[in-house]
Amino acid sequence: MKIQSIKGTRDIFGVNLKLKRFIESIFLDETSKFGFQEIETPLMEDVSLFKRSVGESSDIVQKEMFLINDDKDSITLRPEGTASVLRACIENSLFDKLPLKLSYFGPMFRKEKPQKGRYRQFYQCGVESFGEKTYGADLELFLLISNILKKLNITDYIIEINNIGTNDEREEYKKDLYAFFKQNEDSLSEESKKRLSSNVLRILDSKDQKDIDLCLKVPLIQNYIGLEQQNEFLKFQEMLLKLNIPFKINPFLVRGLDYYSDLVFEIIDTSNNLGSQTALGGGGRYDKLIEDFSNKKIPAIGFAFGVDRLMLCCKAPLTNNPIKISLNSTISDLIPIFLKTKNEFPENFFLDVNLNYNLSFKKMFQRADKISSDYVVIIGENEYQKNQFKIKNMKTGIETVVDISDYSDIGQLLLNFLKTT
Ligand code: AMP
């Protein structure tokens, strides 16, 4: 039987792995500049954590979690980061010192239908900012998002924003929305008919054309939000304009997770690099969630980028490949000297040591060519007798013979040679 990777998972290697690491380093650099500290949480959590935070009626809890078959089915691979970070903060008393700003980077697992930009094991990098209710904290996150995207040279994006009100306001809105959809039930898609009683808000971001047409006539959440909140939202938009952060209001944006309130947003790719999956990331405020878990009133806001999607859109050049020099000899005594030289050589070069001293010169060159060496050093019996080494520039084909009295000086001589060519 052929053993294959599990549906929706993929191997990441070569340039792709470099790209993922590059994104991780940019993310960690930029978040630490803003005072976020990294946290790592386990890949497994109690199922009830997500039922209580993300919500019983969310797609994640309803059908997307990878449950681990222990006795009670009570463990799951984590489908998202916020709930785990929150659990970790409560368990480790991290909320004793506020404000608190945390970041995370790692794999998440959701049983979704795999397609371009959508996997069953995918990576998210995100932040959570606890303890600040002002729109300054919201703005800080948007600035962070735009800085990270700029560093990754991702310019074709827009941040869609919406204000979904406080929990009470949203409950009022949901009642009216339910009544509207109930009256027009025949015009709803089959999927949305099911959502009518379980999660009426989700009908608003349905991709089905029938629902989209009907949604043009729905009551809007804006009309349910208090005046003070509306003014704050306007001020927030003015600041986004001043900071040149591209955004637009999407009154139908609700996000699929129960814990959000007030500001929600999604970072949308406009370059068509992602096919039908256009969201590079998303987030929002969740001011009530911590109270539900710990009785502490702590406002919070967070976002997560989908790293796999950033990888598909990132145009930033990866750091230049270092110059690669391949060391080869038919003299076995030289191999340990080569290895010592490699160990001490400056890190901006890549010194490759061919450990096989039994190869012919032809095979040594073929090997060096295969690994894309820029220079090849060869020391055969002839050179060894004469205290010399040969170095060939693989691009120009020029071969140079260099005198050397002690082979343990080869590192220094190579550096001198590279300086003069
Ligand atoms: P969410 O937690 O659903 O708001 O997701 C935040 C971001 O994670 C999304 O905007 C995507 O960029 C990314 N994401 C979510 N689900 C997947 C998936 N199955 N595969 C790849 N990326 C995903």
User: 282 CB less than 6 Å from ligand 1?
Assistant: yes
Which atom of ligand 1 lies at the shortest distance from residue 309's CA?
12
Q: Ligand 1 centre from 154 Cα, in Å?
A: 17
The mean pLDDT of 272-285, rounded to a whole number, is: 90
**Whether the CB of 108 sits within 6 Å of ligand 1:** no
Is 64 close to ligand 1, i.e. is its CB under 6 Å away? no
Q: How far apart are CA 228 and CA 206, in angstroms?
A: 30
Beta carbon of 205 within 6 Å of any ligand 1 atom: no
pLDDT band of residue 347 (cuts 50, 70, 90) is confident
Pocket lining: 302 vs ligand 1, CB cutoff 6 Å: no
Check: CB of residue 275 under 8 Å from CB of residue 116: yes
User: Tokens for 258?
Assistant: 């129960």
300 pLDDT tier (thresholds 50, 70, 90): very high
Atom of ligand 1 nearest to the CA of 60: 3
**For ligand 1, is residue 110 a contact (CB within 6 Å)?**
yes
Average pLDDT, the chain: 93
**What single letter denotes the amino acid at residue 58?**
S
**pLDDT (tens digit, 9 = 90+) per residue, 191-227?**
899 888 888 988 998 888 999 999 999 999 999 999 9
pLDDT at 337: 96
Q: Give the Å distance between the CA of 20 and the centre of ligand 1.
A: 16
Q: What percent of the chain has pLDDT over 90?
A: 79
Q: How far is the CA of 281 from the centre of ligand 1 (A)?
A: 6
| Res 164: pLDDT | 93
User: Of the candidates 337, 318, 284, which has an alpha carbon nearest to the alpha carbon of residue 18?
Assistant: 318
Q: Which whole-number Å values give the CA distances from 188 to 172, 183, 212, in the listed order?
A: 22, 10, 9
Ligand 1 near 105 CB (within 6 A): no
The CA 334 to ligand 1 mean position distance, Å, reads: 52
Query: Which H or E element spans position 137?
Result: helix 135-151
Query: Does the beta carbon of 78 lie inside 6 Å of ligand 1?
Result: no
Average confidence (pLDDT) over 251-275:
89
Q: Give the pair of three-digit tokens for residue 215.
A: 């949604």
User: Cβ(351)–Cβ(335) under 8 Å?
Assistant: no
Q: What is the mean pLDDT of residues 232-253?
A: 94
- Give the pTM: 0.86
Averaged pLDDT for residues 363-392: 96
Position 92 scores a pLDDT of 97
57-81 residues labelled b (16+ CB within 10 A) or e (exposed): bbbbbeebbbeeeeeeeebbbbbbb
